[in-house]
């Protein structure tokens, strides 16, 4: 399915809904559908986790963790083959995959959480599918920017943007030995991005402050994480599989989103800064990012 086909389908569905529903209701329904489409990779990963948990038997030759690795690789290959992601996006998502795996290895060694099930495709106690869970965040970020034709304006200096992301990433490691700076870093995200408006298009353009969007996204990531913990796929130190992940994990996701965002902006640099679009601008008037044209993707 090409970018042209999915965009045509979206526009036709939107027109059909606006002709039958109040405009605000139709816009909200389209917003939810587009968000779901953007989160497709992560949603399919969650489905894989839940289905394998429900059906897997311990006597099977292939372990559940190894099956999830094969499933995740197949998903990624399918996204590229179907052009749901471009190769440029995939390379950036791979970078986030690697940084996520490095953090997983470190956290496992520090005893923060564990993967209790056996598996051949494990490295230092970390099943290789775990990197794809981080990659699903990067995939969502890249796809949501493209699908909603997002613009981030006004945008802070790039050096500050990347420096803050680096500081957030390092704090995930250093807080085990020195003072945890997460509250300071959260405050810095608000200070740095409080003027940044995320403009996104449904039928017309709307905007939302970037930190507010990050907060809502972190909540849904926290909910998704609880699917994993309650399925026993991974277990936090001092908890049981039936326990909910603490709300503190929502703060961790909030910060990690900025790391993911900075990584994805390596591709979507043209979406940063510039003039805010008019609410009634069409895709043809606002244009599209180079990656969007190159990808011809969902």
Residues 8-64: tens digit of each pLDDT: 777 778 778 777 788 888 888 889 999 999 989 989 998 998 899 889 888 888 999
E strand map for 210-298: 235-236
How far CA 136 is from CA of 49, 87, 97, 105, 165, in Å, comes to: 13, 15, 9, 18, 18
Contacts of 269 (CB under 8 A, 6+ apart): none
pLDDT at 133 over 50: yes
Confidence (pLDDT) at 298: 39
Both structure tokens of 155: 């945008």
Query: 104-113, 131-140, 202-211, 241-250: which range is least confident on average?
Result: 241-250
Confidence (pLDDT) at 242: 53
What pLDDT band is residue 6 in, cutting at 50, 70 and 90? Answer: low
Percent of the chain surpassing pLDDT 90 = 27
CB 96 within 8 A of CB 138: yes
What pLDDT band is residue 73 in, cutting at 50, 70 and 90? Answer: very high
Both structure tokens of 179: 């003072």
What's the predicted TM-score (pTM) here? 0.81
pLDDT at 3 over 50: no
Percent of the chain surpassing pLDDT 70 = 85
């Amino acid at each position: 399915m090409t970018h042209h086909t999915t965009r045509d389908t979206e526009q036709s569905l939107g027109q059909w809904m606006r002709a039958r529903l109040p405009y605000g209701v139709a816009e909200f329904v389209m917003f939810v559908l587009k968000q779901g489409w953007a989160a497709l990779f992560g949603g399919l990963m969650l489905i894989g986790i839940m289905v394998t948990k429900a059906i897997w038997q311990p006597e099977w030759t292939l372990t559940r963790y190894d099956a999830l690795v094969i499933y995740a690789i197949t998903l990624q290959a399918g996204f590229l083959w179907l052009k749901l992601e471009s190769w440029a996006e995939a390379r950036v998502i791979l970078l986030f995959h690697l940084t996520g795996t490095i953090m997983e290895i470190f956290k496992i060694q520090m005893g923060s959480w564990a993967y209790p099930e056996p598996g051949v495709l494990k490295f230092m106690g970390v099943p290789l599918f775990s990197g794809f869970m981080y990659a699903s965040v990067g995939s969502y970020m890249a796809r949501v920017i493209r699908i909603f034709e997002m613009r981030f304006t006004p945008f802070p200096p790039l050096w500050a943007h990347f420096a803050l992301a680096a500081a957030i990433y390092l704090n995930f490691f250093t807080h085990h030995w020195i003072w945890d700076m997460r509250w300071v870093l959260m405050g810095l995200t608000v200070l740095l991005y409080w003027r940044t408006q995320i403009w996104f298009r449904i039928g017309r353009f709307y905007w939302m402050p970037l930190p507010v969007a990050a907060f809502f996204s972190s909540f849904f990531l926290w909910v998704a994480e609880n699917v994993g913990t309650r399925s026993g796929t991974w277990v936090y130190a001092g908890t049981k599989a039936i326990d909910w992940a603490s709300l503190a994990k929502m703060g961790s996701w909030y910060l990690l989103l900025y790391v993911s965002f900075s990584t994805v902006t390596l591709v979507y640099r043209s979406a940063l800064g510039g003039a805010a679009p008019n609410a009634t601008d069409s895709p043809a008037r606002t244009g599209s990012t180079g990656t969007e044209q190159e990808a011809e993707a969902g």
